[in-house]
Chains A and B, each alone.
Chain A
Amino acid sequence: MHRTAYLLLADGRFPSGGHAHSSGLEAAVAAGRVTDLPGLEAFLHGRLSYAAPVTAAFTAATHLSAARMGRAPCSTHSDVKVPFLSLDRELEARTVSPALRLASRRQGRALLRAGRNTWPSEVYGHLPKHADGPHQPLALGVTAAAAGLSTEEAAQVAAYGVLTGPASAAVRLLGLDPYQVQNLLARMAGVCDEIAAAAAAVAHKSPQELPAHAAPLADISAELHATWEVRLFAS
């Protein structure tokens, strides 16, 4: 594996559609819940406590299956589809907001397109087919496997992405000082690393046993956001 591949996949400039999503930040800004840097910090801590463990664990579990498939002979590949489908269903059940399901699948589809063009592999073809695309963590797990990353690195990219998407949206929506925002992200790095390590540690478990944190306010906000006539971000 090339360490540069890890950086490429984690880079916010990797063209995987993320720039159009604020991960709930636009709704929180409009509701007056995030107005400044401390507000962003609280929002991101929230994201790290409910979204990151789930996203990172499903990414890691998908990566583990995909990496096993990559090493296995082709004749046994049909056996590996089963965890993908189960991971898809379990993540769908954990994503109660239809708007967030769609946002996850749209981002998964965009990531899949970028992954397929960047690190071609037959492993992408084993993801469950869905009209709106695969869930983002599944697409990320498979792409990370195709790129040659380890399971923990895949989880790290997932947890990091949970932070950087809304942080970048905050710079655009609130005009926050970009240095202060980077400083905030650097201060959260330790927590982010711990979440990635914990996710990699449960990657071998059955999909039913993976983390299932939820945040009802985020779900409700996402549903309301989807009905806005005028919005800047897709979610």
Chain B
Amino acid sequence: MRADHAYDHDETVPHTHPEPGVDPHPPLPRLDRAVRIGIGGPVGSGKTALVAALCRALAGELRLAVVTNDIYTTEDADFLKRAGVLDPSRIRAVETGCCPHTAIRDDISANLDAVEELEEALGPLDLVLVESGGDNLTATFSKGLVDQQIFVVDVAGGDKVPRKGGPGVTTADLLVINKTDLAPLVGADLSVMDRDARARRGTLPTIFQSIAQDPHASQVADWVRHVVAHAVGVHGHDHVHAGAH
């Protein structure tokens, strides 16, 4: 349906190889849709603030849209619209029927519809951020919905969270430990969180940040830029569109 939306720039991503002619990597998938990054994590950990910061950082350089999955329908979408970081036409709210984790993992249809509607209304996009409703440590995104996922926890939630693990902390492509500016106030030991995160996550990256001190979430924005530029985790068309329009 959207085969004509392939991205031109995707074919001109510069490549450098130590030994020309010996490319150990499979060719990049040809994108016919935006890269989708899921942003999940417990209630109050700063998911919406991170989305707003990424919009601030990236809206000028990437064709960007956001899907929110709040428990109360439009709360997060309204926050983003009020924050003025992205044109309201680029933000969509999905209703989740009391089950934010169902909408991002078990039955992803409403989110896929929202992503496709945004791509249809706005034309080709580079990146769609899908923010989950605040849930618990077990909520993760389906690979049928997103290519990469960021799990957001905060130091005020307790420095034991990385040690407790759970699928989000353990398997997310990027773990963000938010609100580091609050660490001295809540008695959180960042070195303990760092050590536990490494133990849980092996080689997967973890970023410590404070959006209060860095309103553009620079490190996370760099990670997102890398994911988009190299289409990391993107497998092209993995299922059939609804195709009813």
Q: Are A229 and B106 in contact (CB under 8 A)?
A: no
B171 within 8 A of A: no
Q: With contacts A17-B109, A110-B113, A229-B74 known, is A129 near B98, CB below 8 A? A: no
Q: Are A112 and B98 in contact (CB under 8 A)?
A: no
Chain A residues within an 8 Å CB radius of B103: 19-20
CA distance A67 to B239 in the complex (A): 24
A133 within 8 A of B: yes
A198 within 8 A of B: no
Q: With contacts A113-B240, A172-B97, A234-B95 known, is A16 near B107, CB below 8 A? A: yes
Question: For window 73-117 of chain B, which residues contact chain A by CB distance below 8 Å?
Answer: 73-75, 94-99, 102-103, 106-110, 112-113
Which label, helix, strand, loop or mixed, suits the secondary structure of the B interface? loop
Give the interface size bracket for A toward B.
Answer: 35 or more
A114 within 8 A of B: yes
Question: For window 128-151 of chain A, which residues contact chain B by CB distance below 8 Å?
Answer: 129-134
CA distance A134 to B243 in the complex (A): 10
Chain B residues within an 8 Å CB radius of A230: 72-73, 75
Question: Looking across the interface, which residue of chain A has its beta carbon closest to that of B105?
Answer: A15
Chain A residues within an 8 Å CB radius of B108: 15
Q: Are B106 and A15 in contact (CB under 8 A)?
A: yes
Of B74, B98, B102, B242, which contacts A109 at CB under 8 A?
B242
Total interface residues in chain B, CB < 8 Å: 27
Chain B residues within an 8 Å CB radius of A234: 95, 97, 110
B129 within 8 A of A: no
Closest chain-A Cβ to B245's Cβ sits at a distance in Å of 5
Question: Looking across the interface, which residue of chain B has its beta carbon closest to that of A15?
Answer: B107
Chain A residues within an 8 Å CB radius of B241: 113
Chain B residues within an 8 Å CB radius of A231: 72-73, 95
The 0/1 profile, CB within 8 Å of B marked 1, for residues 16-39 of chain A is 111111100000000000000000
Of A110, A131, A169, which contacts B109 at CB under 8 A?
A110
Scoring B75, B97, B103, B106 by chain A CB atoms within 10 A of each residue's CB, the highest score goes to: B97
Of B73, B99, B112, which contacts A113 at CB under 8 A?
B112
Q: Are B109 and A113 in contact (CB under 8 A)?
A: yes
Q: Are A133 and B240 in contact (CB under 8 A)?
A: no
The 0/1 profile, CB within 8 Å of B marked 1, for residues 192-235 of chain A is 00000000000000000000000000000000000001111110
Q: Are B72 and A232 in contact (CB under 8 A)?
A: yes
Q: With contacts A113-B242, A116-B240, A232-B72 known, is A20 near B106, CB below 8 A? A: no
B127 within 8 A of A: no
B71 within 8 A of A: yes
Closest chain-A Cβ to B199's Cβ sits at a distance in Å of 34
Question: Looking across the interface, which residue of chain B has its beta carbon closest to that of A173?
Answer: B98
The 0/1 profile, CB within 8 Å of B marked 1, for residues 106-130 of chain A is 1011101110110010001101011
CA distance A127 to B245 in the complex (A): 10
Closest chain-B Cβ to A200's Cβ sits at a distance in Å of 25
Scoring B74, B240, B242 by chain A CB atoms within 10 A of each residue's CB, the highest score goes to: B242
Q: Are A108 and B99 in contact (CB under 8 A)?
A: no
Of B71, B97, B244, which contacts A134 at CB under 8 A?
B244
A3 within 8 A of B: no
Question: For window 148-166 of chain A, which residues contact chain B by CB distance below 8 Å?
Answer: none
CA distance A125 to B1 in the complex (A): 13
A13 within 8 A of B: yes
Closest chain-B Cβ to A199's Cβ sits at a distance in Å of 23
Chain A residues within an 8 Å CB radius of B94: 20
Chain B residues within an 8 Å CB radius of A18: 107
Of A108, A114, A120, A232, which contacts B98 at CB under 8 A?
A232
Chain B residues within an 8 Å CB radius of A124: 243
Of B71, B73, B110, B245, which contacts A17 at CB under 8 A?
B110
Q: Are A116 and B99 in contact (CB under 8 A)?
A: no
Given contact pairs A16-B109, A110-B110, A231-B95, a sample of 8 additional A-B residue pairs in the complex whose CB atoms are under 8 Å apart: A15-B108, A19-B107, A109-B242, A110-B242, A113-B113, A113-B242, A116-B240, A232-B96
6 A/B residue pairs, CB under 8 Å, sorted by A? A18-B107, A19-B97, A20-B95, A20-B110, A231-B95, A232-B96
Which residues on A are within 8 Å of B, measured CB to CB? 13, 15-22, 106, 108-110, 112-114, 116-117, 120, 124-125, 127, 129-134, 169, 172-173, 229-234
Which residues on B are within 8 Å of A, measured CB to CB? 71-75, 94-99, 102-103, 106-110, 112-113, 239-245
6 shortest A-B CB distances, which residue pairs? A110-B109, A15-B107, A234-B95, A20-B97, A113-B242, A17-B109
